[in-house]
Amino acid sequence: MRYYSTQRPIGPGTFPKREWNKVLEIHNFDQKTYCEEIGREAWGYIDYEKPLDRYDCSSYELTAVQTKILHLQYIGIDSWGRYVYEDENGDLWKLTDCCSPREVCEQRGDTPHSACNNAFDGEPDCPMGAEIKPEYI
């Protein structure tokens, strides 16, 4: 999985090091360069053996190359007021900001979370991977 550093060149302390996720390559550009894969400028990229989670990406200001698209169909509001969606595989996802209109959450890019036990009223569980781009239909 490839992640671009949009705020600074990649160096010590600027990317997560996990013993279970090997860094395959680090490449810095000579200057900030436009990267088609993410649609914006970056200082360089880092390749990992496995995907990072959204929290690591956010903490280190890395932008994932989104290699997978999931189409999410809105199906309702659970008993806790969370927005529930179903993807093309039958998996349920939730947006958890109950105070904002659903369209605002979608446009803002809130992170969908899987539903525990894939149940409509199940608790929000794992966040969607950073390499996945949700498309709302």
Position with higher pLDDT, 130 vs 81: 81
Q: What is the pLDDT of residues 78-108, one digit of tens each?
A: 999 999 999 999 999 999 887 889 999 999 9
Question: Residue 129: its pLDDT value, please?
Answer: 85
Question: Residue 67: its pLDDT value, please?
Answer: 82
Question: Residue 78: its pLDDT value, please?
Answer: 96
Question: Residue 54: its pLDDT value, please?
Answer: 79
Question: Residue 99: its pLDDT value, please?
Answer: 84
Q: Give the HSE-up count for residue 58: Cα atoms under 13 Å, Cβ half-sphere.
A: 9
Q: What is the pLDDT of residues 56-76, one digit of tens each?
A: 988 999 998 888 899 999 999
Q: Could you state, in order of their start, the residue ranges of all structural domains in the chain?
A: 2-64, 68-136
